[in-house]
Structure 1
Amino acid sequence: MDIFKHEITIRELVEGFVDNAENGVRAYAGKLDIRPPYQREFVYGEKERAKVIETVMKNYPLNTMYWAKCKDGNFEIIDGQQRTLSICQYVNNEFSFNLRTFKSLQEDEKKKLLDYKLFVYVCDGGDKEKLDWFETINIAGKVLTPQELRNATFHGSWVTSAKFYFSKTNCAAYNIGSKYLNGEMKRQAYLETAIKWICGAKDDDGIREYMAQHVDDPDAQPLFSYFQNVIEWVKAKFPKYRKEMKGVPWGPLFKKFGQRTDLDSAKLEKLVAKYMVDSDVQKKSGIYEYVLDGDERHLDIREFDDNIKREVYEKQNGICKKCGKHFEIEQMHADHINPWSKGGRTIAENCQMLCADCNRRKSNI
């Protein structure tokens, strides 16, 4: 792999700048692909892109950018997409800096900006070498998410289509699922979640395996359809939206309970409402899993505090309620006499101190 330093002016960079669905995002007389398949969406805000223009206006050095040379002799950006877009959009009069657009600048100001020199390192090598360089560079900069790096590895028609559904501004996945998913849509969190849902992947290897199987597919419509089915099922079974529904593992729940015909939405809502006001339930988002599978571990039921433990321990004189043996308080566990699932509360009157062995036997019953 060869790496060489390249020096260009902003005038050269912005020549032929286009940003549209037909031609993509290109500059440098059409020779520079600003948004290759592995790049994230433009995420700079007003303050960030203003800093780029301010740096140029004051003739301060702008961070070095990195390009990769393509087989056809053109280039694609490895690092510096957002700085490049900020510059191109400003010269294209798409935003103002200090209340002035580029066209409102004096001629000498325009010339000074257009003559500003940018320093670029260009990598000329194979795809694997360029991808390795890409990952290394991004460790030192704004680190890419695991899914952004996966997109780089498996870029092609399927990834392009998947990004259209799951990470473009106002994409279909965002419009129907933003209230139910965590993570940044533009940082590929929605796409990663959808892949996990459809194939049951638990880790990076599982996601990569799914993407490898579909890398040459013409589009990602089946993935989006599955995602859509999950969200529609959630809305049908839990029609009353609560903020606690955001981030619930809906995909695995759909896979397990999606074909059940005995799940009545009215009954589910009654249970959800009941547990939402239960002060012993500390993890409210876990209620949705609990009403489906009955596993109390989703709820993080409130434990007896140290004061209650001490009070009950003293009343029992350190004697385990089950085996009748004496233990130090550190060797004992606070247990609900009447289980929470049967209406028992986390209060002193419903607490008993058991030794570790007796508590374990009771839990296994």
Structure 2
Amino acid sequence: MKIELHKIKVREVIKDYKDDAEEGVIGYNGKLDIRPKYQREFVYKDKQRDAVIDTVKNGFPLNVMYWVVRDDGGYEVLDGQQRTISLAQFVNGDFSLDFNGRLATFHNLTPEEQSQILEYELMIYFCEGTDKERLDWFRIINIAGEKLTDQELRNAVYTGTWLTDAKLKFSKTNCVAYLLANDDGSLLNGSPIRQEYLESALSWINNGEIEDYMSRHQHDANADELWNYFQDVIDWVRKTFTNYRREMAGVQWGPLYNEFKEAKLDAEKLESEIKELMQDEDVTKKSGIYPYVLTRQQKYLSIRAFTDKMKREAYERQNGKCPVCKKQWDISEMEADHITPWVEGGKTNAGNCQMLCREDNRRKSDI
């Protein structure tokens, strides 16, 4: 990993500054992506923004910034986005603030005062290295300010034509992925601009190996493969689970699609079972019903646990003896168990609770 510290004046960093809602924010003579297009847009409050200008005006140290050195010779801001934008906006005349006892924009300042801003040297680290080295380093420095999400950190590493197209489809407000997944009810939690739609799609298509997929496709011309896959997943969900419920937004649909896309599923039968389970008070995680009806794995349902009162009632009823091994145990050495299993209609109540010693309970669970 190559990391070099550079001192660059404000006037150089904001040269050819341009802020476009769709195309992003650029500077440094057009070579710096201050905020790449379709990346999450941080917004400083006025107090934070003014504090940046005051720091520079007084010649105080401003926190170091980090730029990624791209393969094309350009740069991308990893850390320091809003500090850079605050300086550029002030010099551009976008806002005024109290400057030496008077309210002023940059253009109202004296030449000497303007020079205080423009000649200030920013401390900037240029970061180069392999994909893994950069990702590891970025995670280490991502400890202050507006923290980047894991997917935003990946985006800083795997830049290129593929990512540009992927962001267009998955990372813009009202992007096509968002519109598709929210037509007739939301199927995903999260926000496109927080990169959560992109992260979900990447995780689904490559079984959780997001960085592997991004590295292999980094220089592809477009992200059509990912987009087509995402459309197939959403279409399968709508056809398989025909009655929308809000709990569907909390389901990881990709793994279910990958496993069951070729299976012959009866949508009407699935809906009947889902409806019944939604009314079961012992099922505490309703979103887990959807993977359960396909996989039959109870772990998705988070079946309601016995309360301490139920456990004590069962323990006293048994006189402290395990009904399997018939030995006497302290209650702390025993575990609650359904006499009639939940899957066979047993409920989580005192009457269906028995206390087993740990060994017998584990043995029963393994059967």
Structure 2 distance, partners of 1:253, 1:360, is 29
Structure 2 distance, partners of 1:106, 1:33, is 23
Distance 1:322 1:177, change over 3 A: same
Deviation at 1:96, TM superposition (A): 5.1
Distance 1:221 1:355, change over 3 A: same
Deviation at 1:218, TM superposition (A): 0.9
Work out whether residues 314 and 353 of structure 2, in 8 Å CA contact, stay in contact via their aligned partners in 1.
yes
**Residue 208 (1) aligns with residue 215 (2):** no
Aligned residues: 350
Work out whether residues 4 and 126 of structure 2, in 8 Å CA contact, stay in contact via their aligned partners in 1.
yes
Structure 2 distance, partners of 1:361, 1:107, is 79
The one-character-per-residue Cα deviations of 1:39-89 (angstroms, maximum 9, x if unpaired) are x82432251x65224541683544344456779886553432222233434
Structure 2 distance, partners of 1:86, 1:313, is 66
Distance 1:166 1:332, change over 3 A: same
Matched residue, 1:101? none
Work out whether residues 50 and 97 of structure 1, in 8 Å CA contact, stay in contact via their aligned partners in 2.
no
Distance 1:6 1:322, change over 3 A: closer
**Residue 188 (1) aligns with residue 182 (2):** no
Matched residue, 2:316? 314
| Unaligned stretches of 5+ residues in structure 2 | 98-103
Structure 2 distance, partners of 1:132, 1:337, is 51
Structure 1 distance, partners of 2:317, 2:172, is 63
2:303 alignment partner, one of 295, 301, 304: 301
2:353 alignment partner, one of 348, 351, 354: 351
Distance 1:267 1:13, change over 3 A: same
Deviation at 1:29, TM superposition (A): 3.8
- The within-5 A match list for 1:95-106 is 105=105
**Residue 52 (1) aligns with residue 49 (2):** yes
Specify the SS of the correspondent of 2:179: helix
2:294 alignment partner, one of 292, 295, 315: 292
Structure 2 distance, partners of 1:184, 1:110, is 44
Matched residue, 2:101? none
Deviation at 1:221, TM superposition (A): 0.9
Specify the SS of the correspondent of 1:120: strand
Work out whether residues 5 and 123 of structure 2, in 8 Å CA contact, stay in contact via their aligned partners in 1.
yes
Specify the SS of the correspondent of 1:268: helix
Percent of aligned pairs sharing the same letter: 42
**Residue 174 (1) aligns with residue 178 (2):** yes
Q: TM-score, normalised by structure 1?
A: 0.78
2:162 alignment partner, one of 138, 153, 158: 158
| Unaligned stretches of 5+ residues in structure 1 | 99-103
**Residue 335 (1) aligns with residue 337 (2):** yes
**Residue 86 (1) aligns with residue 83 (2):** no
Work out whether residues 66 and 127 of structure 2, in 8 Å CA contact, stay in contact via their aligned partners in 1.
no
Structure 2 distance, partners of 1:302, 1:22, is 48
Matched residue, 1:27? 27
Specify the SS of the correspondent of 2:336: strand
The one-character-per-residue Cα deviations of 1:169-203 (angstroms, maximum 9, x if unpaired) are 332223333633344533433222212211213xx
Amino acid at match of 2:294: L
Deviation at 1:257, TM superposition (A): 1.7
Structure 2 distance, partners of 1:318, 1:162, is 61
1:256 alignment partner, one of 234, 246, 259: 259
Distance 1:67 1:222, change over 3 A: closer
Structure 1 distance, partners of 2:325, 2:5, is 78
**Residue 245 (1) aligns with residue 242 (2):** no
Q: TM-score, normalised by structure 2?
A: 0.78
Amino acid at match of 1:159: L
Deviation at 1:311, TM superposition (A): 1.6
C-alpha RMSD of matched pairs (Å):
3.7
